[in-house]
Structure formats: structure tokens, C-alpha cells
Chains A and B, each alone.
Chain A
Amino acid sequence: MHIPDGFLHPYLCVLMYFISLVSLSWAWRGVRRTFPRSLVPVLAVSSAFVFVAQLLNFPIVHGTSGHLVGGTFLAMLLGPHAAVISISIVLLIQAIFFADGGISTFGANIFNMAVIGGLSFYIVKLLSGSSSGQKRLSASVFMASWFSIVLGALACAIQIGVSPIFASAGGVMVTVPAMLFWHIIIGIGEAAITTSLVSQLSRFSPTVLSGLSMVRGIAYERRY
């Protein structure tokens, strides 16, 4: 879902940079206020994991592939603020070193993947409610990670659809259904991977899931 340079109208690039900067400052303030230094190793390892996971494309139908974005996964490990920062770091390294995702479109990519991904924390919170049951929680994580991909794809589709080169190919009327079609399927992959990762971690290393504790209303605890 990484938008390359040239796909977006320059004004839209500026607007998306602005929106992403506002979101990043929200995330940064949240980390500063709540994220303890003892969890920095978890932030570093889980960000590195997401970078590697994004390299491993899984095939879907008709010669198309998808890969984990990892927003909901990181939100379950780190909470929403640090998750936004974490995916932004992954996107930054991808753009600077590997030219995966453009520089002009960096703001849009942060919004579509990091901001929507990190905010999917609140979808988990909303869906799981006050219940602490494992099944309800897994279902919430599944839905939230699926939504994070579909909503990110929708945002991406609108952004490219209103930009000149896609506008001449039919605009949002074409890009929205096409992007949604693929990402409804890719989102199932994201959801399956995220749900199994979170349930494995909650079985073997539950203390690492700080974001999950936050869903349940428990603040970050000291663990290292």
C-alpha cells in the first residue's frame, strides 16, 4: 500500500504531510506522557519485526500479493501512541534506504498505515468492551486489523483517485472499488496473522502485550 512518488497531487502531498505531522505530535506527546523507558527494547524489537514482516509478501488471488502492515499488532504490544511512532519509523527507513514508498507521498503513507494502524487500538477497545474473554478479544483483534487495512486502502484510494494521473483513468469511482476489492482480501491475511501472533504471545509471553493491558484499562507496568 506504499504510494510511490508521482501518484498524488502536490497539494494533497502537502495536506497529508500536515495531517501526519499533527498525528505524529499527538503520538509523540502520548509516548512522552505514558510510555516507560523500560519498554523501549520492546518498541525496538517489534518495529524491527514489522519491517521484516513487510518484506514477506503472501500471495492472494489473481497474481496479487499482500503483506502484513502490522498496525494492530504493534498497538497490542505498545499501545496506540508508540504504535504510530513505530510504523512511522519502519516507513521512514523503507523510504530513505529502499525507496519503498515515495518521499513526496510520505505524509500520505504515514496516515494510511501508521496513523490508521495505530488508531485501530480503539477499534479493539470498542469491540472487546469490558469483557476479558479470550474469544471476544481474538475476534476484536481480528476485526480491528482487518479494518485497519480496509480503511487504509480506502484512504489511499481516495487520495490517488482525486490526483491527476488516476483522475484521468476514472478517478475515485474506479480506484475505490478496485482498492477495496484487493484489500478486503489482503485484510483477511493481515487479520489472520495478527490474531495468531497476539494469541501466541498472550499464551507464551503475556507480559509483552502492554497495548492489550491498556485495552483492559491497566497502565503500562514495569517489566524489565
Chain B
Amino acid sequence: MKGGTKAIILIIIGLAVLIPFTSTHPDGLEKVAESLGIEESEPIWSGLMPDYTFHFTENPYLTKLISGLIGLFLVFSVAWGIGWATARKNHV
């Protein structure tokens, strides 16, 4: 899958280049909650890397890059696995 490898490289380059331009402002739903004075309660499950942060670095660029790469790998693998298990074996 040559095209796939190329696409993954392009995605990683895109991530590395675009991170400095991303907005850290709240998104639509967060903004609505904020404007109504509603705060998020403690989540039931705080995740392995809550809100895309790590204990070893506070650099916002690195944090986003690392979580992006980890997430990219995880989503890719899970999607591949589920896809492979579910998809039709033979062509019409």
C-alpha cells in the first residue's frame, strides 16, 4: 500500500506544520457551557492522557504532536483491526 504510506507521512507533516496555527479557544459546546456558567464536573474516567497532556512535558507543541502521533497509531490500528474483521472477504 504505497499510497497509504504516503498519506500517513503527509498527515504527520500536516500535523507538525499546523499545530502552531491551531486555536486553543473553547469549541462551540464549551463556549455555550462557559457562557451559561456551567462547569465540567469530574469525568467518570479521566483517560490515560487526559485532555491530551503528559506528565513529562508541558511544551504545548510537543504535547499536541505526541498525542497526535499516539492517537494516529491507535486509530489506525483499531480501524484496521475492526475493518479486517468486519469487511467482506470476497468481491462481487
Contact = CB atoms under 8 A, between A and B. Distances in A.
A34 B87 CA distance: 8
Nearest to B67: A98
Interface stretch (A116-124, A134-142, A170-178): A170-178
A196 interface: no
Interface residues of A, number: 76
A85 B22 contact: no
Given A5-B43, A47-B79, A165 B29 contact: no
Contacts of A37: 83-84, 87-89
B85 to A, nearest CB: 10
With most chain A CB atoms within 10 A of its CB, the pick from B3, B7, B33, B75 is B75
Nearest to A33: B88
Contacts of A31: 83, 86-88
A126 interface: no
A49 B14 CA distance: 10
Contacts of B74: 93, 97
Contacts of B18: 56
B59 interface: no
Interface residues of B, number: 62
Interface of B: 1, 3-4, 7-8, 11, 14-15, 18-19, 21-29, 31-33, 35-38, 40-52, 64, 67-68, 70-80, 82-84, 86-89, 91-92
Interchain residue pairs A-B with the least CB separation, the first 7:
A99-B47, A182-B28, A6-B41, A65-B23, A59-B23, A40-B83, A47-B79
28 contacts: A5-B44, A6-B40, A6-B41, A31-B83, A34-B88, A37-B83, A40-B80, A40-B83, A42-B4, A43-B80, A43-B87, A47-B75, A48-B11, A49-B7, A51-B72, A57-B22, A89-B82, A93-B74, A95-B45, A97-B47, A98-B50, A98-B52, A99-B43, A102-B43, A103-B45, A169-B38, A178-B32, A183-B28
Interface of A: 1-7, 28, 31-45, 47-52, 55-59, 63-67, 82, 85-86, 89-90, 92-100, 102-104, 153, 156-157, 160, 165-166, 169-170, 174-175, 178-179, 182-183, 186, 205, 208, 219, 222, 224
Given A41-B4, A64-B27, A100-B51, 18 more contacts: A2-B29, A5-B44, A32-B87, A33-B88, A44-B83, A45-B4, A47-B79, A48-B72, A49-B11, A51-B75, A65-B25, A65-B27, A93-B74, A95-B45, A96-B47, A102-B45, A166-B38, A174-B36
